[in-house]
Amino acid sequence: MITAMITPMTPDGAVDYDGAARLADYLVTAMRNDGLVINGTTGEAPTTTDEEKERLLRVVLEAVGSRAQVVAGVGTNITSHTIELARAAERVGAHGLLVVTPYYNKPPQPALEAHFTAVADATGLPMLIYDIPGRTGAAVASETLIRLAAHPRIIGVKDAKDAPGATSHVLAQTDFVYYCGTDMLNLPWLALGAVGFVSVVGHVVGDRLHEMIDAFGAGDVGRARQIHYDLIPVYDGLFRNQGAVMTKAALDLLGLPGGAVRAPLLAATEAERQQLALDLDAGGVKLPGSAA
């Protein structure tokens, strides 16, 4: 159970490092997260500086200690910059890397293979490929993933391609570990062979997602299915707007560190916050001051 952690910010948009430490501790202790992804898309990595990324990683590593694995999001659409971020993450002490498909420039498959290989060659850390064509404009083909699986440090995929056939082909032909990267598909992806989730809703229901993983692994598919159904309002609520926007709104409703978002994102509207409160309540997330 891994959550892709937001980057808490102050009202003026500065990174709230104390808040990040508190949130990381909460996610590990109360939400049962086995790991955290720092500086991913949900962490607003496209709008944080390299210096902020490195300091945030240091703060979270110190906050969680040996209680959880910390994976650094280092992907950009420039191979040399991605390598710089990967090496910085290794120096700081990250346990692994998450490398998103280069976005906007839409590299063809041989270029994608060369990019991921170059990043994996640059450090001694294990690496996950983040396949999310809806954001990047370029899917990683199954054949490319199968070839990349031969690299000793490319160990798996955060899969947000939402293509069960493609995922099945790769899982059947490699020893890759797969993490579901689309919360609504968490349970189906366990059935395909995923080992867990890199989740957004894990900020508020990570403990129940961990219970889903445990139930499925124990063969109690009925229990896992019921958890999935119970969480549908939470899945819906946190993605009515962009994930970081709604997650920060949810954390604010819960009295946890979240704060502002950076442009071009805009904070959730009051109407969105009111709907989110209803969604969270329907999904069994009790807000401060709500009826027990």
- Mind giving me the DSSP string for 197-218? EEESTHHHHHHHHHHHHHHHHT
C-beta contacts of 60-65 below 8 A and 24+ residues apart: 60/5, 60/20, 60/21, 60/24, 60/36, 61/92, 61/93, 61/94, 62/21, 63/20, 63/21, 63/22, 63/24, 63/25, 64/24, 64/25, 64/28, 64/36
Closest CA to 161 of 129, 120, 193: 129
Is residue 158 among the annotated active site residues? Answer: yes
State how far the Cα of 157 lies from the Cα of 224, in Å rounded to an integer.
Answer: 22
Exactly one of 26, 130, 178, 179 is catalytic; name it. Answer: 130
Is residue 229 among the annotated active site residues? Answer: no
Instruction: Give phi and psi for 128, each to the nearest 5.
Output: -105, 140
State how far the Cα of 176 lies from the Cα of 131, in Å rounded to an integer.
Answer: 13
Closest CA to 251 of 288, 204, 212: 204
Exactly one of 53, 158, 161, 248 is catalytic; name it. Answer: 158
> What is the H or E stretch that residue 25 is in?
helix 17-29
Neighbouring CB atoms inside 10 A of 218's CB total 10
Which residues are catalytically annotated?
130, 158
